[in-house]
């Protein structure tokens, strides 16, 4: 069950119509909030309105009579009568609550009281209690106030006593919840938490406790089975531990030596690879040098021949003139 809005009309210190909306506005996103204000501002009246709309009575007015609506012989109502909360000088007053039922459906419950002809001087008429489906306005009230109250309690999932002991605790009544028997508190918490949630939590807690107890018993049995060592056995175990420690240190020393050897061989292999690559580079360089040396010799021969080029040219010219004369 979740309260979605509370509307109050002419009740106690709240004149006119006042609505507190928990679905919209700043309260919609507030996980918790406080009702504060000076004395007489209407703080308690809001809480009274919740109880009146749902159950037709409120803890602040004290015990309820057999029918709940006592009229004294003078025509004035008793101070314990819920209708006494209607604001003085007003012909009517009512409280309305829109809530989400335990079946996840929205409902609207209203308690109202009016004077004859809705005049401030008229006699109080019988209070009315009604229930509707909030979304489409379908009437869900019973033929009597008792039937209507039973239907509201079914939708809320809590009786008036359970509601005022758990959800809405009157001033000074918190101890009543704490003093309630454990079974009763568990029942209330189960209803508040939504059906079987509290039961599932309780079952899970008991199962976890049983599992942890079994683990503890196993450890205690193992501890009981473990017999202490004799001095001789203890000395032998310590001697074996010392030997094992020495062997471990020797193994660590040999491991370090092998790791150094591995690094040395890795470096040697890298250097051998570099030496081989250098030899290949040298062989290529020698071949290139030899080829360039032969080319240099050819160039030198060409240069020497070039120095005698004019002699060959003169010879060619003389031969040409000689052939010309013969012809």
d(Cα 101, Cα 153) in Å, to the nearest integer?
10
Is the pTM here over 0.75, yes or no? no
Domain of 44? 2-63+70-157
Do 140 and 33 fall into the same domain?
A: yes
Do 253 and 141 fall into the same domain?
A: no
Residue 114 inside a domain? The answer is yes
Residue after which a domain boundary falls, among 157, 180, 212: 157
Listed residue (151, 154, 155) closest to 143, CA to CA: 151
Both tokens of 313, joined, read: 């040219």
Residue 233 inside a domain? The answer is no
d(Cα 5, Cα 20) in Å, to the nearest integer?
6
Residue 200 inside a domain? The answer is no
β-strand pairing of 14-21 with 2-11:
antiparallel
d(Cα 314, Cα 199) in Å, to the nearest integer?
131
Do 152 and 242 fall into the same domain?
A: no
Q: pLDDT tens digits, residue range 108-129?
A: 999 999 999 999 999 999 999 9
Residue 303 inside a domain? The answer is yes
Q: Give the model's confidence band at 59: pLDDT under 50 very low, under 70 low, under 90 confident, else very high.
A: confident
Q: How many domains does the chain have?
A: 2
The answer to whether the beta carbons of residues 80 and 88 sit under 8 Å apart is no
User: What is the pLDDT at residue 73?
Assistant: 37
Do 35 and 144 fall into the same domain?
A: yes
Q: pLDDT tens digits, residue range 274-300?
A: 999 999 999 998 888 888 888 888 888
User: DSSP H helical segments within 180-230, as ranges?
Assistant: 182-192, 197-225
Residue 58 inside a domain? The answer is yes
Q: Give the model's confidence band at 74: pLDDT under 50 very low, under 70 low, under 90 confident, else very high.
A: very low
User: What is the pLDDT at residue 194?
Assistant: 54
Q: Give the model's confidence band at 200: pLDDT under 50 very low, under 70 low, under 90 confident, else very high.
A: confident
Sign of CA dihedral 176, 179, 182, 183: negative
d(Cα 77, Cα 84) in Å, to the nearest integer?
7
The answer to whether the beta carbons of residues 20 and 2 sit under 8 Å apart is no
User: What is the pLDDT at residue 4?
Assistant: 96
Residue 289 inside a domain? The answer is yes
């Amino acid at each position: 069950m979740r309260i979605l809005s509370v509307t109050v009309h002419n009740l106690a210190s709240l004149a006119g119509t006042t609505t507190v909306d928990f679905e919209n506005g700043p309260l919609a996103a507030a996980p918790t909030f406080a009702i504060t204000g000076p004395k007489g501002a209407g703080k308690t009246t809001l809480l009274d309105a919740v109880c009146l709309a749902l159950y037709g009575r409120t803890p602040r007015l004290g015990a309820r009579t057999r029918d709940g609506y006592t009229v004294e012989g003078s025509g004035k109502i008793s101070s314990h009568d819920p209708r006494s909360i209607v604001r003085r000088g007003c012909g009517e007053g009512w409280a309305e609550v829109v809530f989400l039922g335990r079946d996840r459906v929205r409902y609207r419950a209203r308690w109202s009281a009016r004077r004859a002809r809705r005049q401030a001087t008229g006699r109080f008429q019988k209070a009315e209690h009604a229930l509707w489906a909030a979304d489409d306005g379908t009437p869900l009230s019973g033929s009597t106030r008792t039937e209507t109250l039973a239907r509201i309690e079914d939708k809320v999932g809590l009786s008036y006593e359970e509601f005022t002991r758990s959800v809405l605790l009157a001033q000074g009544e918190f101890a009543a919840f704490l003093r309630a028997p454990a079974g009763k508190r568990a029942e209330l918490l189960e209803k508040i938490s939504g059906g079987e949630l509290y039961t599932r939590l309780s079952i899970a807690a008991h199962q976890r406790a049983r599992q942890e107890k079994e683990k503890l018993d196993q450890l205690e049995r193992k501890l009981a089975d473990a017999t202490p060592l004799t001095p001789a056995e203890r000395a032998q175990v310590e001697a074996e531990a010392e030997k094992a420690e020495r062997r471990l240190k020797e193994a660590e020393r040999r491991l370090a030596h092998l790791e150094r050897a591995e690094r040395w061989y890795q470096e040697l292999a890298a250097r051998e690879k570099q030496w081989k690559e250098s030899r290949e580079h040298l062989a290529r360089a020698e071949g290139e040098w030899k080829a360039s040396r032969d080319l240099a010799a050819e160039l030198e021969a060409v240069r020497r021949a070039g120095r005698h080029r004019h002699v060959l040219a003169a010879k060619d010219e003389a031969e040409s003139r000689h052939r010309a004369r013969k012809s």
